[in-house]
Amino acid sequence: MPGMRPDLSGVDPLTVNLTHRVCVGDLLTRSAAHYGDRIALVDGELELSYAEIEARANALARGLAERGYQRGDAVGMQLQNSWQFVATFFALAKIGVVAMPLNLLLSPSDIAYQLDDSGVRAVITEDVFLGVMGPAIAAAGAHQLTEVIVTGTAPADVVGVPAIAYDSLFSDDRSVVEVIVEDRDILHCLYTSGTTSRPKGVVTSHVAVQIALLGSALGLGLRPDTQPAVQPIALPLFHVTALDALLLPSLAVGATVVLLRGFDPAAVAKVFSERAVTHLTMLPMMWGALLQQPELADGDTDSLVTGLYAMAPMPAELLAALRARFPGAAFILGSGQTETTPASELQWSGHQGVKDNSWGPATVSTDVAIMGGDGELLPVGAEGEIVYRTPQLMEGYWNNRDANTEAFAHGWFHGGDIGYLDDEAVVWFTDRAKDVIKSGGENVSSVEVERVLLGHDAVAEVAVVGLPDDHWGEAVSAFVVVTGDVDGETIQAWARDRLAGFKAPKTVTVVEALPKTATGKIQKNVVRQQA
């Protein structure tokens, strides 16, 4: 082998692996050694220390290994935000089994597709989900399921596939499992939302996630200390943001994670009243709802260090209100996508009030550039596609050669976003490539129009899309959720005073609700289909 390399032929390969490797399963083992009896997880009335969740993960890993699960196998996870999700994820990581969290809002047909496409060996689910999982398994064609593992009450089988109780898997031996897991082995497979076509399976390695979680911890101001950070998680753990950018960084530094089954503003306010919350990530609409909670006392807000928001622009008025209510906190935007194991960009606290509408600079392990249509890299200020090189990037799309060829064209990863860099290497997002509206020969950023409309006092939510039009090619069309008695024409007239003529919405339609993903991201493809 060329180059300078040590001769390790006299060392057992397992020893070499254990002493050198990057395995996310080891994260929990290290944290248990460092933080021991410190509370790691709060799940309802249950509190688990780092030592206890590590012991449960080890016992489950051993139980799975005894049933023949081994490195390279894949297992689906249909679990809510719970200690079982966390223990299962780490158990799989410890033995090199790929975790495939399932979106809990998927239809049976969507689950069936993912079962077939991924070839998972088993699914770990809850008894409350069997009404969905059963039809999904029945509809799946080429799946390779050997068993369904069920928390709660387990039936004998699920549409002919043997079922066993989750609790029966735990070994009495709670010691650490020591098997070979390589750095570039796949940690998890997460399917994208599939806004324009069937979702793609994003497969990401142990080392990519490890690097990403360290970058997120640094950017969010999470660090080990004698007084642990406290982070409630209301976003679903099956989503990459909650899993890789919130849960794992928190557990790496000895934080206390409060698991919430979903977003309930009263429940979040209660956590503030009971615990000194230091870090919290939510969507802008969630932050707005939290401010309205009478249970949120002024004194409860003093502990917050970082308030992160994502997936949607923050109205300037709401951002100002949050900064006033949480005076000690930095409110920053985080950006990224499943493929880049977010966050790939994080605003700096020093840019507050100065570059609030930007995405912020790239995280410490990420290279970002702007690329033109011919693959050339563009200078500062020039608009083009935002592209990436980073060790936290996915390994690629599962079972999708054509998508990989397109995504890695010209030596960079193409995320499909349009924007530019300023002279401080701050990323300014213009729009998703597929959401740029071509109206009357001009390109219109749907995000820019949305940001203006959110400035109207009565507009709570908005989606701006381009709809086919004989005259304009695409007509700028806004769909808004409003508070109070206001009509679309009034909002449209208000927008015309604040936007260039070609950017102003040709129509503004008031709707009761906008279609969203499980994480609260507005589904513009569905908006277009329903228009």
Which pLDDT belongs to residue 518? 67
Q: Which CATH class is domain 438-530?
A: alpha beta
Cβ within 8 Å of residue 113, ≥6 positions away: 198, 199
Work out the pLDDT band at 195, boundaries 50, 70, 90.
very low
Give the pLDDT score at 471.
74
Q: Where in the chain is the domain with CATH 3.40.50.980?
A: 13-32+47-204
Element housing 402 (H / E): helix 401-407
Q: At residue 223, what are phi and psi to the nearest 5 degrees? A: -150, 155
Distance between CA atoms of residues 282 and 274, nearest Å: 19
CA atoms of 95 and 57, how far apart (whole Å): 11
Determine the average pLDDT of the residues in 117-122: 95
Q: Does the CA dihedral 477-386-102-399 come out positive or negative?
A: positive
Within the chain, all domains assigned CATH 3.30.300.30 are found at: 438-530
Q: Residues 376-428: pLDDT tens digits?
A: 999 999 999 999 999 999 999 999 999 999 999 999 999 899 999 999 999 99
3-state secondary structure of 306: strand
CA–CA–CA angle 128, 130, 132 (5° rounding): 105
Please tell me the CATH code under which domain 13-32+47-204 is placed.
3.40.50.980
Q: What is the pLDDT of residues 6-65, one digit of tens each?
A: 999 999 999 999 999 999 999 999 999 999 999 999 999 999 999 999 999 999 999 999
Please tell me the predicted confidence (pLDDT) of residue 51: 98
User: Mean pLDDT in the chain?
Assistant: 93
Is pLDDT at 221 greater than 50 in this prediction? Answer: yes
- CA dihedral sign of residues 344, 348, 352, 354: negative
Find the mean pLDDT for residues 286-290: 93
Tell me, what's the pLDDT at 226?
A: 94
- Give the single-character DSSP code of 516: B
Among 79-88, 138-147, 264-273, 403-412, the minimum mean pLDDT is found in 138-147
Mean pLDDT of 72-96: 98
- The pLDDT assigned to 142 comes to 65
pLDDT digits (tens, 9 = 90+) for 473-518: 789 999 999 998 899 999 999 999 998 888 999 999 999 999 987 6
Q: Which residues contact 350 (CB under 8 A, 6 or more apart)?
A: none
